[in-house]
Structure 1
Amino acid sequence: MTGTAPRKVLLVDDDPHIRQVLAFAFAKAGMSTEEAIDGEAALAAVAAAVPDLVVLDINMPRMDGLEVCRRLRAMDCAVPILFLSSRDEEIDRVLGIELGADDYVVKPFSPREVVARAGAILRRAAPAPPKAAATDVAHGLLRLDTAGWQAFWSDQEVALTVTEFSLLAALAAAGNRILSRDALIDRLHGPGFAVTDRTIDSHIRNLRRKFAQCGAADVIETRAGIGYRLGPCQGQPPR
């Protein structure tokens, strides 16, 4: 017994059966859950106590999951978000990721898959061991605090989601090497995880947009048909 509190997951879905099934699956995995029946209840729950992860249904009445995600990110809330949706269109997955979600599962789903994807997100968000505190990355005007999960451009913090930070850290660790989309997926999720190339592209666009707001125009380079690598990061910060 280490005394470590279990990870808390907020389950947001208007279907009580789905909430019940997921609550049982997460409990078996050693995680605690809280439930919200709609978007407004979800926002209130996060405001009261930020969970370790939000499992968020997209198709809910009054306020759908996309709007909940949009509002959380507008509040600079970086809680990881795993979307659930009955819509399997790629554009829906891409929109969810571009709004700031970390992953996406299509209904009908296996509860084990949802727990596995949630676990992958939580592992990426886990605090680094003490010895990793000295492994900060500095590249041009970019600095990554790997222990604190913070990214800086010329000492200005850039708020990133767990997945965005992990993706940027993977590119930084690769140095000048180009990483293919498949290689980035393996680093983020592990081999064999079903994630589309468009999902990676959406995360890259989010990173570029956020750094561009700080004056960074060269944080990530694209090699057409190959993949991505960290840019020179020499852009001028805003005055």
Structure 2
Amino acid sequence: MTRPDGTPLRVLVVDDDPDLAEVLSGALRYEGWRVRSAGDGAAALAEARELMPDAVVLDVMLPDTDGFAVLRSLHTVKPDVCVLFLTARDAVEDRIAGITAGGDDYVTKPFSLEEVVARVRGLLRRAGMARQQEEGPRLTVGDLVMDEEAREVTRAGDLIELSPTEFELLRFLMRNPRRVLSKAQILDRVWSYDFGGRAHVVELYISYLRKKVDAGREPMIHTVRGAGYVLKPVSP
């Protein structure tokens, strides 16, 4: 995988454990990516300003701040950066906090290097930052239009701003209009792995999409109780 212009993907690893940061960086460099590391929030922001990373592997617990605060600052440097949180805490509330703060995914320590690399690869692919074959340039469902190459979405001509994960979730719905998609199917397709049965992640992102796609308009995204979700064009 490379950037669309053929240059190596850029990844920043942020962890206060230098041994772990070194091991993670080595695994990511093995993918052919350009990797830098930082041990605290201040160093992470300095590295981010110079590297302009496509993805950040970010520990939640840092010596000078927490990963959520770092993420907010990172978004001012590079709004479209993908973020994979590393957390030693397994509470659902912590995971939701990370996603709500703008993180795209998380892994819980201890983890395998293969898992981290796979998650980062999936985030970059979903965000369109890696060179790949697209299935089609444009999707249309009713007055909802998605330009996959430009990564733009409009409804009735109005531009809708989406995060990388929201974009991929909507793309999956638009490729299957009028078809009820289960939470398990959505997790498998959008997150590319089993989220441990934690369907709240799907519910959270569906709620985000509704606020953007259906706000002030006749709803297109519908819940089928006990079955999943379906995208339906609005009847004229």
Fold match, TM over 0.5? yes
Pick from 207, 210, 225 the counterpart of residue 208 of structure 1: 210
- Whole-angstrom CA distance in 1 between matches of 2:115 and 2:173: 27
- 1:50-61 alignment to 2 at 5 Å? 50-61=52-63
Q: Confirm or deny: 8 A CA contact 2:177 2:232 kept in the other structure.
A: no
> Aligned AA for 1:220?
I
Change (3 A) 1:9 1:233: farther
What displacement does 1:77 show? Answer: 0.6
Pick from 56, 62, 65 the counterpart of residue 64 of structure 2: 62
- Whole-angstrom CA distance in 2 between matches of 1:143 and 1:79: 24
What displacement does 1:176 show? Answer: 0.5
Does residue 113 of structure 2 align to residue 82 of structure 1?
no
Change (3 A) 1:122 1:159: same
Equivalent residue number for residue 114 of structure 1: 116
- Whole-angstrom CA distance in 2 between matches of 1:140 and 1:127: 29
Equivalent residue number for residue 169 of structure 2: 167
- Whole-angstrom CA distance in 2 between matches of 1:233 and 1:128: 32
Cα root mean square deviation, aligned: 2.7
- Identify unmatched segments of 5+ residues in structure 1: 235-239
TM-score (norm 1): 0.83
Compare 201-210 and 214-223 and name the one that shifted more: 214-223
What displacement does 1:209 show? Answer: 3.1
- Identify unmatched segments of 5+ residues in structure 2: none
The alignment of Structure 1 onto Structure 2 pairs a total of residues equal to 230
Secondary structure of 2:123's partner? helix
- Whole-angstrom CA distance in 1 between matches of 2:78 and 2:8: 24
Secondary structure of 1:17's partner? helix
- 1:126-205 alignment to 2 at 5 Å? 126-127=130-131, 129=133, 132-133=136-137, 136-190=138-192, 194=196, 196-205=198-207
Change (3 A) 1:180 1:100: same
What displacement does 1:96 show? Answer: 1.2
- Whole-angstrom CA distance in 1 between matches of 2:197 and 2:43: 30
Q: Confirm or deny: 8 A CA contact 1:82 1:103 kept in the other structure.
A: yes
What displacement does 1:193 show? Answer: 6.2
Q: 1:210-229 CA distances to partner (integer Å, 9 max, x unpaired)? A: 446x6456242211211111
- Whole-angstrom CA distance in 2 between matches of 1:88 and 1:145: 37
Equivalent residue number for residue 25 of structure 2: 23
What displacement does 1:98 show? Answer: 2.1
- Whole-angstrom CA distance in 2 between matches of 1:33 and 1:217: 45
- Whole-angstrom CA distance in 2 between matches of 1:170 and 1:49: 32
Q: Confirm or deny: 8 A CA contact 2:52 2:78 kept in the other structure.
A: no
> Aligned AA for 2:208?
N
Q: 1:100-133 CA distances to partner (integer Å, 9 max, x unpaired)? A: 2211100111111101111122222235547833
> Aligned AA for 2:136?
A
Change (3 A) 1:166 1:154: same
What displacement does 1:89 show? Answer: 0.4
What displacement does 1:40 show? Answer: 3.0
Compare 147-156 and 41-50 and name the one that shifted more: 41-50
- Whole-angstrom CA distance in 1 between matches of 2:77 and 2:7: 26
Equivalent residue number for residue 34 of structure 2: 32
Equivalent residue number for residue 225 of structure 2: 224
- Whole-angstrom CA distance in 2 between matches of 1:38 and 1:56: 10
Change (3 A) 1:23 1:191: closer
Secondary structure of 1:112's partner? helix
- Whole-angstrom CA distance in 2 between matches of 1:18 and 1:217: 49
Change (3 A) 1:131 1:11: same
- Whole-angstrom CA distance in 1 between matches of 2:81 and 2:166: 12
